[in-house]
Amino acid sequence: MADGGAMAAPRAAAGGTMQRMARRKSTVAFLLTLPLLAVIGGLVAWPAAYAMYLSTLNRRMTAFIGLENFAILLDNETFRGVIWQSCFFAITAVVLKALIGFWLAHMLHHIPTKGQRLWRGMLLVPWVIPPALSTLGWWWMFEPSYSSLNWLLAVFAVPAVPWLGEPWWARVSVIIVNVWYGAPFFMIMYLAALKSVPEQLYEAADIDGATGWQRLRYVTLPMMRNIISITVLFSLIVTFANYDIVRVLTNGGPRDLTHVFASYAFQVGVLSGNIPRGAAVSLFMFPLLAVIAYFVLRGINERTKEIGA
């Protein structure tokens, strides 16, 4: 009996501790976030860490070679071209998407509410179609031998354009498709931001005799600064990681002049059987994007605090 009593006391104490822990809000919050943490850990953190580990191995994945894969890549003309193309592609596409999205949002914002819904729905169509599928549609329009765009140009006696066969046209084609696909995202984000700008600010600006440009420059843009930063950052990351458009439209050609990081990583890593080097290609922009993300998010935080204060 003595033994039984001695065992019961700590069990009761343990039960009490468990109950106290369960009653604490932080514990409940932690338990509720566990599924999300597991998903992030399993689908984001672990693959990223594994890719980093892979990038430090030799081709046969039998020896650790440190950062040698990155050094080899930087020594390669084709890869240096890929860096340039990826930057050109991402920056051009994001700038165009932002400008077109902003312009579309403004146009929509001034349409009466009744008709706005229809236009908003139609303009969102490119964004909701799976990009691999819509890119296939674009490929049919650009197709080297039977381009429907060239057929239309021929109607107006304009010479055929080698959309995918000539390097610069191929780059332009890839950017056109990316902008077509991504501009609706900017549009919808900017439209939401525009709707949240208090009307009184514009009224005050009007009283002060502000022109349309001044309203945009001193009221709209400052009020949208955070959303612009977030969308540009998000889109920059996604565009740098773009794969399907290049894969479907050009497969990186002609002469590797349209490859971006993701398409080149797939070619080097999976198709050519050099997984460590493919991992190195895919991780190449990670440090730069991480730094950009840090500064952009810090700026947003500071502005939010200023507004709060």
Partner 1 sequence: MADATLSRRGVLAGGAAITALQAPAVFGQAMPTLRCAFWDHWVPTGNGALRQLCGQWGERNRVNVSLDFINTTGNQLQLTAAAQAQSRSGHDIISLAPWDVGSYADQLEPVDDVMGRLIVKYGPANQVAEFLAKHRGGWRAVPATSGTQNKPALCRFDLLEQHAGLDVRAMWPAEDRRGPGADNWTWDTFLRAAEACHRAGVPFGLPMGQFTDAVDWVGALFASYGARVTDERGAPTIRGNGELRQVMDYAVRLARFLPNDVWAWDDASNNRALISGRSALVFNPPSAWAVAKRDAPQVAERCWTIPMPSGPRGRFLAYLPWNSAIWAFGRQKTAAKQLLEFLGERESAEVTTTTSNGYDIPPFATMSDFRVWSAEGPPVGTIYNYPLKAHHQATPSIAFAPAPPELASQMYIQALNTKVIARVAQGGETIEAALGWLEREINNMRRG
| 27 Rama class: left (phi>0) / alpha (psi -120 to 50) / beta | alpha
What distance in Å separates the CA atoms of residue 86 and residue 262, rounded to the nearest whole number?
A: 9
- Give min distance, CB of 143 to partner 1, in A: 8
C-beta of 77 vs 199, nearer to partner 1: 77
Tokens coding 286? 């990670």
Closest CB to partner 1 among 165 and 299? 165
Least separation in angstroms between residue 252's CB and partner 1 is 7
3-state secondary structure of 286: helix
Nearer to partner 1, 150 or 220 (CB): 150
CB 55 within 8 A of CB 227: no
Nearer to partner 1, 79 or 102 (CB): 79
Among 77, 65, 55, smallest CA distance to 283 is for: 55
Provide the minimum distance between the beta carbon of 130 and partner 1 in the complex, in angstroms, as a whole number. Answer: 13
List the one residue out of 232, 145, 247, 238 whose CA is nearest residue 186: 232
Dihedral pair phi/psi, residue 64, rounded to 5° = -80, 125
The rounded distance, in Å, linking the Cα atoms of 45 and 123 is 35
Give CA–CA dist 135/181, Å, rounded.
9
134 vs 220 by CB, closer to partner 1 = 134
- Which letter does DSSP use for residue 55 in this model? T
Least distance CB 253 / partner 1 (angstroms): 5
Q: Pick the closer one to partner 1 by CB: 153 or 223.
A: 153
The least CB distance from residue 248 to partner 1, in Å, is 9
Q: Contact residues for partner 1 (CB under 8 A)?
A: 58-60, 65, 68-69, 72, 75-78, 144-146, 162, 164-166, 170, 247, 250-256, 266-268, 270-277
Min separation Cβ 257 and partner 1, Å: 9
